[in-house]
Structure formats: C-alpha cells, structure tokens
Structure 1
Amino acid sequence: FGRMVMWVFGYGSLVWKAGFEYDEKVVGFIKGNRRVFDLACIDHRGTPEFPARICTLQAQEGAICWGTAYRVRGDREKENLALEYLVRREPEYDIQAHVDFYQEADSETPFLTGVLVFTSTPNKISNKYFLGPAPLEEMAGQIAKAFGPCGNNCDYLFKLEKALYDIGHADDEVIELANEVRKILGGIDEFTLSKIFSTTLDKTSNKYFLCSDPLEEKAGRFAKAAGPCGNKRDYFFSWKKPCMTL
C-alpha cells in the first residue's frame, strides 16, 4: 500500500500552532474566501456568557485568504490521529471542505488540490456557534473581555496578527481589529485588570485552587497535565510575561 498524504489548511490559530504531527508546512492562500471573526468560542477562549470571536471563512468572489498548509504523510493511523485532534480542537466548525491551495509564485495554477479546511455554516439557526458580523467597535469590545480556559480572546487575535506578519502576509482587517482592541485595553485601569485576571486563593470558594503542594507534587502535575489547548509543559516553559499584551 502507498503512503497516505493529507494536507490541512490553517487560517486562524493553526497558522501559529498546528498541535498535531506534520511533515511539511508551506505558506499560501485559498481563493473565493475571506477571513472573518464571525464564530463564537465558548470553551477555549470564551464562555457561554462571554463568547470569544474566532475566525471562520466567508465566501466572497475575488477574495483570497492567506495561511499555512500542513502535510501529514504516513499510514492511515497517523492521518486519523491528526483528524481526531482537529475535530476535538475545532468543535465550532461544522464543515470540512476541500479546496485548491495556491502559492505566491503562481497564483493561477493550484500548488495543491483537495486540501482539507475547517469552516462553518453561516446560519445562526443551524449553527449555534455562528455569531455573524458586527460593527468593528462591537467586535473589539467582545474580544477585549472574552476569556476562557485557554486564555483570553485578545491573545488569540494578537497572535494571529503576528503570525500573518511573520509569514509575510499581514492582514489589514486583522490589524484594524487588533488596533481597535488595543484602544479598549488601553483604557482599562490596573485595578479592573487585576479583578478580571485574578483568582481566589481558597479551596472553599474556588474549586480550581489546589493549595501550596510540595514542589515534587507540583512538578509531577506539570509533567502529566494535557488538554485541548496543549500540555502544561509548553505553557510553563514558554511563559515569560502575562498573557495579556497591550
């Protein structure tokens, strides 16, 4: 049997964090779609009360969307592991489509065909995660205050802004939204920030507080803990500054 090859296109958080094993990563774009922040996230970077706004694709003639494509090459098990991970990570996306993928060197001939992309139904009735469009100021306000188990919504936006810049294809609409969020965050005083991003150090009133366990026990938890946003080791070793970036 020949080796299986699967390509996955990322245009949101996948641009900077694949999260699955892949063999190759290439920069390029897809046609007929634009990146929009019309989808709700209620379990990673938001809550049901304050949903985060994350990316999805909106069909638009003549539009292109830059991102990265990942190649997963191997046996069926390797492909299934990547798919299972993506389905768990992207529950808001109810459509798995296959698209043509282009590179800057030749914008007319597809570099790849049949590339998998996760997107969503733009209908609030059939897709409970679809928020739809909103004025820039309203979207920025929602992003500025949304926070979930995997971090805050503004961090998602700022990382996407940087990731697109790093691959050489900054997105003007992402930059505009990010700057609007920065305006809002710049007006929040330190006391309000401390109330938003603080925790009660009491087991009785805070079920998530673990108390001051011995160092070895803490290290053991860090070594083993993993969830939908990655493992605790990555969180710990990459942590250098507060999550919020103004």
Structure 2
Amino acid sequence: MTSSADLKPYIIFGYGSLIWKNPGRVVTLIHKEDWDHFSASDAFPEEDIVWGVAHTIDPAQADEVREYLDYREKDGYTVESTDVYGVVNGEEEALIQGATVYVGRPDNPSFIGSQPIEDLAQRIFRSVGPSGKNSVYLYELANAVRKLAPESFDSHLFALEKRVKELEEETLNRS
C-alpha cells in the first residue's frame, strides 16, 4: 500500500490569477514563438522574465486539485510541463523540474490570441465579470508580481496597467 508520504508532490507554476487569487482571466502565458506570431506590433521584450508562483500540492489532494484546474483552465489553455527557475545567491538555477503549467496555445479553439495594447487596455477598462472588474484583476496581478520579485520587470503587464490607469484618469477628468 502506498502512503501519501511516498507520492511525488504535484507542483503547479502559476501566473495571472494563480498568483494572487483564483477567479478571472485577463492574461495567460504563451510561448515566445506564438507571441512573435500574434504580436507583430508588440515586440517580445527579450529582457523580460516571467515571474510566477510554484504551488506545491499535497499528494493526497493532487488528483482533486488537478481535476479542478483542468476544468477551470479548459478554455484556451493547454497543460504542459516546465522547469521552474529561481535566483539563488545572484545566480539563476532550476529549482523545480516538471511543474505543471497552463499555457495559451493557438491550436486550442478557445485561445483568443493577442490584441494591440490599446485595444486590450480598452477591453480591460470596460469589462466586468463574475469575479469583478477586469482592471482590479490587472492591478492585483501587477502588484503581486512586484511583491513576488521586486527586481523583475514585466514590460507588457506594466504598460497595460499604466494605460488602464490612464483611461480611468481620463474618465474621472471628464466627469
């Protein structure tokens, strides 16, 4: 008989709402080559690094969590495996091998793809879903990334945050 102590932990690399809260979808991880294909007007910032959180799930709950996430992330995401890197003593090194990650893929029929940052900012500014305003989701994600890795800089995320805040300010000034 196998005990939960003998099982390998289930590790999920989370971005977007998996960093700060579960509901909502505003952003997703995609492969660089897909970014290059969809975002010709928004060049990939080569110096950016994706910062996220690796959640270690107790093996006793792994099946339940995997089933929940597979259902929740079914529209627009593909399950993949990735190594998770961190900075240790100023050097980048692989800390976890084979973490589960949900990635947006263009071959998934629910994958929306990219939009120019102005169009995306307008959509986030206007949109409200069951989990609340999309702008709050964006701000919470940006704040979580800043807290997670103060030395990081996600140029796309922060440019989007800046533009949505400008839209809010413009609306206030018109009132």
Residue pair 2:26, 2:137 contacting (<8 A) in 1 also: no
Is residue 51 of structure 2 the alignment partner of residue 66 of structure 1? yes
Q: CA deviation at 1:132?
A: 2.0
Q: CA separation in 2, counterparts of 1:83 and 1:146?
A: 29
> Higher relative contact order by CA 8 Å / sep ≥ 6: 1 or 2?
2
Identity of aligned residues (%): 25
> Matches of residues 192-207 of structure 1 in structure 2 within 5 Å?
none
- TM-score, length basis structure 1: 0.56
- Give CA deviations for 1:14-35 in whole Å, capped at 9, x if unaligned: 1113x5xxxxxxxxxxxxxxxx
Runs of 4+ in structure 1 off by over 4 angstroms are: 60-63, 189-192
Which of 158, 161, 164 is 1:178 aligned to?
161
Aligned to 2:127: 146
1:178–1:65: structure 2 CA closer, same or farther, 3 Å change rule?
same
Which of 7, 11, 14 is 1:7 aligned to?
11
Q: CA separation in 1, counterparts of 2:132 and 2:66?
A: 24
1:190–1:149: structure 2 CA closer, same or farther, 3 Å change rule?
farther
Aligned to 1:54: 27
Structure with more of its chain in strand, by fraction: 1
1:149–1:190: structure 2 CA closer, same or farther, 3 Å change rule?
farther
Residue identity matched to 1:15: I
Gaps of at least 5 residues in structure 1 are 20-43, 46-51, 193-246
Q: CA separation in 1, counterparts of 2:51 and 2:103?
A: 15
Q: CA deviation at 1:189?
A: 4.6
1:86–1:190: structure 2 CA closer, same or farther, 3 Å change rule?
farther
- Give CA deviations for 1:131-177 in whole Å, capped at 9, x if unaligned: 22222211110110011111111111101100000112342221111
Residue pair 1:100, 1:114 contacting (<8 A) in 2 also: yes
Residue pair 2:51, 2:148 contacting (<8 A) in 1 also: no
Residue pair 1:53, 1:142 contacting (<8 A) in 2 also: no
Q: CA separation in 1, counterparts of 2:159 and 2:18?
A: 21
> Matches of residues 58-207 of structure 1 in structure 2 within 5 Å?
58-60=31-33, 64-75=49-60, 78-105=61-88, 106-107=91-92, 109-123=93-107, 126-128=108-110, 130-168=111-149, 169-189=152-172
- TM-score, length basis structure 2: 0.77
